[in-house]
Chain A
Amino acid sequence: MPFENLSEKIQYSLRKLTGRGKVNEKDIDDAMREIRVSLLEADVNYKIVKEFINEVKELALGERVMKSLTPGDQVVKIVYEELIKLMGDEAVPINLKKSGTSIVLMVGLQGSGKTTHVGKLANYLRKNNKCKPLMIAADVYRPAAINQLVTIGKQLDIEVFQMGILAKPQAIVKNGLDYAKEKGYNLVLIDTAGRLAIDEVLMQELVEIKQIVNPDEILLTVDAMTGQDAVNVAMKFHEKLGITGCLLTKLDSDTRGGAALSIRYMTKIPIKFTGLGEKMDEIDVFHPERMAKRILGMGDVLTFIEKAQASFDEEEAMKMAEKMQAGRFTYNDFLDQIKKIKKMGSIKGLLGLIPGLGSQIKNLDIDEKKFVYIEALIGSMTKEERNNPDLINKSHARKSRIANGSGRSYQEINQLTKQFETMRAQMKSLMNMDEDQMEKVSKGQAPIPGMKPSKPKKGKGKNKGGFRF
Chain B
Amino acid sequence: MGLFDIFKKKKQNDTSKKYELGMKKTRQGLMGKLKAILSGHKEIDEDLFDDLTDAFIMADIGVETTLDFIEALKEDERVEGLTNAEDLQPIIVDKMFELYLKGEIVNNNFNLQKNDLSVFLFVGVNGVGKTTTIAKIAYRLKKEGKKILLAAGDTFRAGAVDQLEVWANRVGVDIVIKKGATDPSSVIYEAVQKAKQEKYDVLLCDTAGRLQNKTNLMKELEKMNRVIAREVENGPHETILVIDATTGQNGLSQAEAFMEVTNITGVILTKLDGTSKGGIVLAIRDKYNLPIKMVGLGEKMEDLEYFDLEDYIGGLFIGSEDDTDA
Asked whether B163 lies within 8 Å of A225 as measured between CB atoms, the reply is no
Does B253 sit at the interface, judged by CB under 8 A? yes
Instruction: Determine whether A229 belongs to the interface, using a CB cutoff of 8 Å to chain B.
Output: yes
Q: Are B126's CB and A250's CB within 8 A?
A: yes
Contact with B along A222-260 (1 / 0, CB 8 A): 010111111011001000000000000010111110110
Counting chain A residues whose Cβ lies within 8 A of the other chain, the interface size class is 35 or more
In Å, the complex CA distance between A196 and B297 comes to: 11
A461 at the interface (CB under 8 A from B): no
Whether B216 pairs with A367 at a CB distance below 8 angstroms is yes
CB under 8 Å from chain A, chain B span 241-297: 244, 246-253, 256, 271, 273-277, 279-280
Which residues of B293-326 are within 8 A (CB) of A? 299
**Docked-complex contact B250 and A110, CB < 8 angstroms:** no
Interface membership of B167, Cβ < 8 A: yes
Do B274 and A197 have beta carbons less than 8 Å apart? yes
Say whether A256 contacts B249, CB under 8 Å.
yes
Find chain A residues with CB under 8 A from B299 CB: 110, 141-142
| Alpha-carbon gap, A142 to B132, bound state (A) | 9
Q: Is B99 an interface residue (CB 8 A)?
A: no
Taking CB atoms, residues of chain B closer than 8 Å to A141 are: 299
Please report whether the interface of chain A is mostly helix, strand, loop or mixed according to DSSP: loop
- Bound complex: CA of A253 vs CA of B218, how far in Å? 13
**Do residues A144 and B125 form an inter-chain contact, with CB atoms below 8 A?**
no
CA distance A196 to B247 in the complex (A): 15
User: Per-residue CB proximity of A15-44 to B under 8 Å, as 1/0?
Assistant: 000000000000000000000010011110
Contact A227 B274 (CB under 8 A): no
Per the CB 8 Å criterion, the residue count for chain B at the interface is 51
Q: Which residue of A lies closest to B280 (CB)?
A: A227
A151 interface residue per 8 A CB criterion: yes
Partner of A109, one of B165, B246, B249: B246
Q: Are A113 and B157 in contact (CB under 8 A)?
A: no
Q: What is the minimal beta-carbon distance from A341 to any residue of chain B, in angstroms? A: 15
CA distance A225 to B162 in the complex (A): 27
Inter-subunit contact B59/A228 (CB<8 Å): yes
* Interface presence of A101 (CB below 8 A): no
Q: Does chain B have a CB within 8 A of A336?
A: no
Q: Is A309 an interface residue (CB 8 A)?
A: no
* A residues less than 8 Å from B59 (CB atoms): 228
Residue contact A198 to B25, C-beta cutoff 8 Å: yes
How many whole Å from B316's CB to the nearest CB in chain A? 12
Given the contacts A43-B249, A226-B246, A110 and B127 also touching, CB distance less than 8 Å: yes
Contact B127 A41 (CB under 8 A): no
Residues of chain B contacted by A365 (CB below 8 angstroms): 215
Nearest B residue (CB) for A142: B163
Residues of B within 8 Å of A232, CB to CB, are: 275
Determine if B166 and A41 form an interchain contact, defined as CB atoms under 8 angstroms apart: no
Known: A111-B127, A144-B165, A250-B126. A227 touches B211 (CB 8 A): no
Q: Does B48 contact A (CB under 8 A)?
A: no
CB atoms of B213 and A253 under 8 A apart: yes
Q: Is the CB of B275 within 8 A of A197?
A: yes
Nearest A-chain residue to B276, judged by Cβ: A229
Please state if B60 and A227 are interface contacts (CB–CB under 8 Å): yes
CB pair A111–B277 under 8 Å, yes or no, is no
Do the beta carbons of A40 and B57 come within 8 Å of each other?
yes
**Residue on A with the closest CB to B131?**
A143
Contact with B along A376-404 (1 / 0, CB 8 A): 00000000000000000000000000000
Closest Cβ of chain B: how far from A317's Cβ, in Å? 28
Find out whether the CB atom of A258 lies under 8 angstroms from the CB atom of B248. yes
- Say yes or no for A366: interface residue by CB 8 A criterion: yes
Q: Inside 8 A of A115's CB, which chain B residues have their CB?
A: 159
Question: Are B275 and A198 in touch, CB under 8 angstroms?
Answer: yes
Partner of B159, one of A147, A228, A252: A147
Q: Does the CB pair A233–B271 fall under 8 Å?
A: no
Contacting residues, chain A, for B213 (C-beta < 8 A): 252-254, 348
A186 within 8 A of B: no
Q: Establish whether residues A147 and B247, one from each chain, have CB atoms under 8 Å apart when the complex forms.
A: no
Chain B 209-257 interface residues, beta-carbon cutoff 8 Å to A = 211-213, 215-216, 219, 244, 246-253, 256
- 0/1 string, B153-178, CB within 8 A of A gives 1: 00011111011011100100000000
**30 A–B pairs (Cβ distance < 8 Å), ordered by A:** A37-B67, A40-B63, A41-B63, A46-B58, A111-B244, A112-B127, A113-B127, A142-B163, A143-B162, A143-B166, A144-B160, A144-B163, A148-B160, A148-B162, A149-B159, A197-B274, A198-B274, A223-B127, A223-B247, A225-B248, A232-B275, A250-B127, A250-B211, A252-B213, A254-B211, A254-B213, A256-B250, A259-B248, A367-B216, A367-B219
Which residues in B have some Cβ–Cβ distance to A below 8 Å?
25-26, 54, 57-60, 63-64, 67, 125-129, 156-160, 162-163, 165-167, 170, 211-213, 215-216, 219, 244, 246-253, 256, 271, 273-277, 279-280, 299
**Chain A interface residues (CB < 8 Å from chain B):** 2-3, 37, 40-43, 46, 109-113, 115, 141-152, 155, 196-198, 223, 225-230, 232-233, 236, 250, 252-256, 258-259, 278, 348, 365-369
